[in-house]
Amino acid sequence: MRGVAPLGSLMAVCFVCVATSATWGQTRTVSFGTSGTPWMDVAEQVIGLEDSTANGALQPFFLDPDKNILVGPRTELDELTNIFNLKWSLNKVGRGSDFVLGVNPRFWTATWSSIYHGGPRPYIDGDPYTVNKVIGVRAGSGGRDQLYTFDFGFPLAINRVVFYPPDRGVDEKGGLMKQRFPRAYEVSATSDPESYLLLSEEREYHTLDRLIARTFFNGDRIVDLRFPTQIMRFLRISFNLIDQSYLLGEIEVYGEGFPPVTSYRTQVIDLGREVNIGRISWKFEKFRYDPIAQEIESAPDAPIELTLETRSGKDDTPKSYHIVSEIGTQQRVKKSKFDLAPESSIRLGARPGDKGEISEDTANWSPWSTPYKQSGTEVRSPDGRRYFQFRYNSISEDFMAFGRMDSIAIEVSPLLVEKIIGEVGLVDGEFPPGIHSAPAGVEVPLLYAIKAVFGAQGNRGFNVIRINTISDAEFIGLEIGNPGTTIVPDSVRSQNGMLEVYFPSNKVQRNSGEEEVRLIFRASMLSYSTHFLAEIEELNGETLAQSVEPGDATTALASDDIRIYVEEKSIEVLSSFVTSARHLTPNGDGVNDLLHLRYTLLSIDEGMLHIEVLNLLGESVRSVEKEPQRKGIYTRTWDGRDDRGVLVSPGVYLIKASVETNKGNFTKILPVALAY
């Protein structure tokens, strides 16, 4: 079945070139799945998914209740695989470059002694007639060789466990092997990846969290345990309950439905050249399987969560490879040299020239983005890079429901400039060095410098600058060139925390190798640190916007960054709450008919805000606002009416603003007089 290819074969390729359009002068779309490059052609890691059932779309593997999930097709080297075609590790500590903890299944016994008797392999080889060694044990001996543990690699919906002795043959005493079945056993399971079930040594072997079955008086030659379906990753079978000797021929495990957690990750995708990246779109549908009708039906409300993330890079691997240097330090090398280096010796340890650490290459690759919530969202990974990677996982709370990923597409276009660098700092007479800080919630003047470097990969230029200021900003001035020439923009827009400056009459273009642009504006800091993310664009062009990277953009600043920090002592969640006047006279004369309430929320992603009007007895007469809000500066109004829409009586009222957050609850109260 396509979609469950061995993990090792999928990881053998470092990156893949994606077929691209011959036209590089405009925006194009790179697609994967049913409308583009097949999923498995670019797959690096696939967990619990296949692409053969739905004509090339990815969906979770269906567990046939009649198929043993422990047995799959053998590899060319006669290695055992499970039903997902993932290679078994027959040791607790998986070995080999194609083993990944949390992906490959593992099966191990309590001690190493079973290795000398062929290990646990015969119990899951699919041959129920294999004659295994006679096992004897004294009760209370600690379960040596009598305790078997399975790690399926990822959670599965399991409802049946079977084990039995060989069906034919005579044992060493002349008795029938099929009568040497265990008289006592215990079966337990868990979904939690506890440390003792991963790679650490387990000194005291014990029952897992969920006891499935236990008996001291088994009379069944074939033990066939059927139980309500449970989600589990680890399964343990123990025979160390009484003094007994027995034979095992095979262990079988069965399940149903779909793996509740599945994931997919691409190899590094070579886009052919440095590009700007636009939106990412996908087609993901939810379905539910009806086991009675044996039909699949659309289920838009199924409890399934999709998490999709991206990252971009400057080279063809997001990893840094190292070998051990002559003085014992980690020396970074190319992957080709790392692959040729020998492994460290178990007995002698690491020697000069041996393979060293493999770590994330944070210098050339961005971290994984925050998850995308909606198809058609702008990609958050940096522009100006040639290499790209995405991954997704799907989590279902119902093992009979699943998500099907039909396709994923990303927009790409040529660079506007070969490199665009930004730097921000406070305007305070002169531009002081270092990363700047400002009081929270107070408007301050800022200089945002941008250096555009033109070259063969990008020389179209730009005439729009867009800066995410978080709070609303006030434009002050624009300069182009060094020394700067003051430019009057064609238009300026500042709304919803975004400052946009348009200057098509003075487009920045390739007059020289690089050009400097300075933008001055006023804005407030609403978090401990504010990242002033920016992008440039060519108005009415056929290309995408290009994001600005932090760096040394001007000699006027020395921050080399696009962040402004907040002075910690000034941080308060509900930092300000003021009214437009101390009294309200809603008599229709146009003077103080409305009371404007202005408040600032700092350093929260979301909190429940409630603004209400109270009388002097503390009773609520009007709820002005009650909804989740994030950091920002807001304005609301009160018209002097209660919740029924009736004007309240003259007197003194209290305006109470409160916000509930995971940092605590914050409240401010202001008195207001109302008269007619």
Q: Please tell me the least confidently modeled range out of 441-450, 503-512, 597-606, 664-673.
A: 597-606
Q: Is the pLDDT of residue 21 over 70?
A: no
Note the pLDDT of residue 373.
92
Query: Cα–Cα distance between 244 and 260 in angstroms, integer?
Result: 38
Query: Cα–Cα distance between 4 and 15 in angstroms, integer?
Result: 20
Q: Is the pLDDT of residue 573 over 70?
A: yes
Residue bearing tokens 């990277």: 549
Residue 178 phi, psi dihedral angles, 5° rounding: -65, -15
Q: Mean pLDDT in the chain?
A: 85
When pLDDT is averaged across residues 618-629 and rounded to a whole number, the result is 90
Residue bearing tokens 């868990």: 190
Whether residue 189 contacts residue 230, with contact meaning beta carbons closer than 8 Å, is answered with yes
Angle (CA) 99-101-103 rounded to 5° is 80
In this predicted model, what pLDDT tens digit does every residue of 249-292 receive, in sequence order? 899 999 999 999 999 999 999 999 999 999 999 999 999 999 99
Note the pLDDT of residue 103.
92
Q: Is the pLDDT of residue 368 over 70?
A: yes
Three-class DSSP category at 303: coil
Tokens (6 digits) for 504? 């098509």
Tokens (6 digits) for 263? 């994931």
Q: How many other C-beta atoms can be found within 10 angstroms of the C-beta atom of residue 187?
A: 21
Whether residue 306 contacts residue 403, with contact meaning beta carbons closer than 8 Å, is answered with yes
Query: Cα–Cα distance between 503 and 489 in angstroms, integer?
Result: 5
Residue bearing tokens 């139980």: 227
Note the pLDDT of residue 421.
95
Note the pLDDT of residue 113.
38
When pLDDT is averaged across residues 473-502 and rounded to a whole number, the result is 91
Beta strands 534-537 and 464-468: pairing type? antiparallel
Q: pLDDT tier at 492 (50, 70, 90 boundaries)?
A: very high
Q: Of 225 and 145, which is predicted with more confidence?
A: 225
Query: Cα–Cα distance between 619 and 290 in angstroms, integer?
Result: 54
**In 3D, which of 261, 243, 535 has the Cα closest to residue 384?**
535
Note the pLDDT of residue 137.
42
Note the pLDDT of residue 496.
85
Q: What percent of the chain has pLDDT over 70?
A: 89
Whether residue 606 contacts residue 646, with contact meaning beta carbons closer than 8 Å, is answered with no
CA dihedral for 511, 516, 522, 524, sign (positive or negative): positive
Whether residue 171 contacts residue 134, with contact meaning beta carbons closer than 8 Å, is answered with yes
Q: pLDDT tier at 11 (50, 70, 90 boundaries)?
A: very low
Give one word for 357, left, alpha or beta, with left for phi > 0 and alpha for psi -120 to 50.
Answer: beta
Q: Is the pLDDT of residue 510 over 80?
A: yes
Residue bearing tokens 């994001």: 547
CA dihedral for 341, 344, 349, 350, sign (positive or negative): positive
In this predicted model, what pLDDT tens digit does every residue of 80-91 receive, in sequence order? 999 999 999 988
**In 3D, which of 440, 406, 420 has the Cα closest to residue 529?**
440
12 Cβ contact partners less than 8 Å away, ≥ 6 residues apart? none
When pLDDT is averaged across residues 93-120 and rounded to a whole number, the result is 72
Note the pLDDT of residue 20.
47
Q: How many other C-beta atoms can be found within 10 angstroms of the C-beta atom of residue 128?
A: 19
Note the pLDDT of residue 25.
63
β-sheet bridge partners, residue 296 = 289
Whether residue 37 contacts residue 49, with contact meaning beta carbons closer than 8 Å, is answered with no
| Residue-by-residue DSSP string for 79-103 | --B-TT-PBPBSSSS--STT--TTT
211 Cβ contact partners less than 8 Å away, ≥ 6 residues apart? 186, 187, 188
Tokens (6 digits) for 242? 């009484």
Angle (CA) 46-51-55 rounded to 5° is 160
pTM for this structure?
Answer: 0.76
Tokens (6 digits) for 179? 């009568």
Q: pLDDT tier at 150 (50, 70, 90 boundaries)?
A: very high
Note the pLDDT of residue 12.
36
When pLDDT is averaged across residues 583-601 and rounded to a whole number, the result is 87
Task: Please report, as a single letter, which amino acid is at residue 102.
Answer: G
